[in-house]
């Protein structure tokens, strides 16, 4: 059993409201790593140096931050890190995951549907976007008419769904999100990796599985994922490794080999390059025992 504690937050949002809006000024972040079934849009200003943890992504943020999380079990937190500010501005909007369930299948909501799917892994928007939508967020909070505030939230969400530079944070294998790739070949490859990531995987075998030459497959996977096959495979293995660091007390050496890496120093090097910290440091970011509240 791991000595890691992750809180299940009970949010103030009840079944009678569409969303809640929370605006606050503070000197530090005190809430630990947590998760909750409600979707969350979090805007932060004047917090350069704060450490953001979303799934297996750990990054230091700049002065502006805007993150959307729609994964009900995706761990996340913002912690003080190297932040020196004593006047942090934070606006959080939380809404029920089924709020848009009846309209997301409609063509007019395609971009919102795609954004929500990506946000199951956490989605961070460019600083320019955070700055641009700040006034929209404030407008929602100052609107006293409940219906109008909901319409303004819809407008904000649609506006964000058009942002092409938003970046996914947590890896698929860490987030444990069931996905249905739109490509039959990608689905076959992903299934193969899920079943065989602990073993040695040769490019020739995967290319044959996809019914392509090695060269054609490399071009295909790069176009579909924006990663080389080796990067794609390593990302999957690292996501599984990060999950084991959080949920088990296995040694780092054990995790290395169980996830398909055959060299501990190579595993440590790749992990630090991709995650920005060593496996030991990553585990330390998830502290205490897992409990539900």
pTM score: 0.87
Domain containing residue 40: CATH number: 2.60.120.280
Same domain, 130 and 186: no
- The total number of structural domains in the chain stands at 2
Residue 291: burial class (beta carbons within 10 Å; 0-12, 13-18, 19+):
exposed
Same domain, 164 and 22: yes
Residue 208 lies in a domain: yes
- C-alpha torsion sign, points 265, 267, 270, 273: negative
Q: How far is CA 145 from CA 16, 23, 24, 169, 265, in A?
A: 16, 18, 21, 35, 58
Tens digit of pLDDT at every position of the chain (293 positions) = 344 456 778 888 988 899 999 999 999 998 888 999 999 999 999 999 999 999 999 999 999 999 999 999 999 999 998 999 999 999 999 999 888 888 888 999 999 999 999 999 999 999 999 999 999 999 999 999 999 999 999 999 999 999 999 999 999 889 876 666 566 777 888 889 889 999 999 999 999 988 899 999 999 888 888 889 999 899 999 999 999 999 899 999 999 999 999 999 999 999 999 999 999 999 988 764 344 44
| Domain endpoint, select from 106, 139, 168 | 168
pLDDT at res. 50: 95
Which domain does 152 fall in, by range? 7-168
Same domain, 183 and 159: no
pLDDT at res. 100: 86
CA–CA gap between residue 21 and residue 12 (Å, rounded): 10
CA–CA gap between residue 266 and residue 257 (Å, rounded): 11
Residue 109 lies in a domain: yes
Residue 291 lies in a domain: no
| Domain endpoint, select from 168, 193, 208 | 168
Residue 147 lies in a domain: yes
CA–CA gap between residue 124 and residue 57 (Å, rounded): 11
Pairing of β 57-60 and β 88-95: unpaired
| Domain endpoint, select from 109, 143, 168 | 168
């Amino acid at each position: 059993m791991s000595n890691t504690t992750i809180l299940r937050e009970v949010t103030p949002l009840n079944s009678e409201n569409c969303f809640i809006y929370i605006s606050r000024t503070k000197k530090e972040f005190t809430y630990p790593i947590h998760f909750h079934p409600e979707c969350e849009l979090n805007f932060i200003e004047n917090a350069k140096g704060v450490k953001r943890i979303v799934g297996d992504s750990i990054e230091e943020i700049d002065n502006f931050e805007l993150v959307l999380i729609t994964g009900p079990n995706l761990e996340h937190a913002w912690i003080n890190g190297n932040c020196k500010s004593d006047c942090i501005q934070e606006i959080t909007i939380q809404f029920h995951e089924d709020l848009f369930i009846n309209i997301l299948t409609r063509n007019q909501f395609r971009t919102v549907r795609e954004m929500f799917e990506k946000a199951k892994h956490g989605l961070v928007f460019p600083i320019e976007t955070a700055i641009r939508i700040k006034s929209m967020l404030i407008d929602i909070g100052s609107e006293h008419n409940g219906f109008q505030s909901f319409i303004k939230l819809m407008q904000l969400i649609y506006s964000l769904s058009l942002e092409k530079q938003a970046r996914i944070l947590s890896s698929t294998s860490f987030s444990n999100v069931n996905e249905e790739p739109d490509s039959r070949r990608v689905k076959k490859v992903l299934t193969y990796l899920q079943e065989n990531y602990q073993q040695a995987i040769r490019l020739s075998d995967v290319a044959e599985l996809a019914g392509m030459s090695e060269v054609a497959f490399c071009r295909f996977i790069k176009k579909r994922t924006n990663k080389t096959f080796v990067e794609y495979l390593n990302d999957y293995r690292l996501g599984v490794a990060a999950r084991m660091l959080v949920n088990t007390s296995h040694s780092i050496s054990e995790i290395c080999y169980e996830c398909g890496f055959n060299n501990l120093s190579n595993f440590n090097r790749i992990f630090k390059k991709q995650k920005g910290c060593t496996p030991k440091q990553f585990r330390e970011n998830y502290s205490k025992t897992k409990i539900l509240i």
